Structure 1
C-alpha cells in the first residue's frame, strides 16, 4: 500500500489512545468479591474480576 504507514491505521499501540488503560485511574470493584477488576471505575454494568468471571463461566457451563 503506497502512502500508507502503520501510524495511519487502527492499532493497539501506546500512542493510538484506544489501547488498554490498565495503569490509569481507579479500577471498578468486582460485584461478587469486591476485588479490583481490569475495568475503569466509571464503566457501566456489573464488572467481575477475572477469578469471579471464570467461576461464573464454570457454573453456567455445568448447569446443563
Structure 2
C-alpha cells in the first residue's frame, strides 16, 4: 500500500501544479511560452516532473492495481 500512497501523492501534486501553471501562462499569451520567461521555465519543469519517475498514466495504473 505505501507504493499506492506515493503514487496518489505524486499524481495529485503534479496534476494540481500543472493546472496552476496552465492558469499562470494564460494571461501572458505568447510571452508565457517565450524561452527565458519565468512561467515558461516553470511550465517546462512541471512537465518534466510529470514524466520523471513514472508518467501520470503509470501512477494511475499503480493506484488502480492497489484498489483491486
Largest Rg, 1 or 2: 1
User: Which has the higher relative contact order, 1 or 2, with Cα contacts under 8 A spaced 6 or more apart?
Assistant: 2
Question: Which of the two has greater strand per residue?
Answer: 1
Question: Which of the two has greater helix per residue?
Answer: 2
TM-score, structure 1 as length reference: 0.29
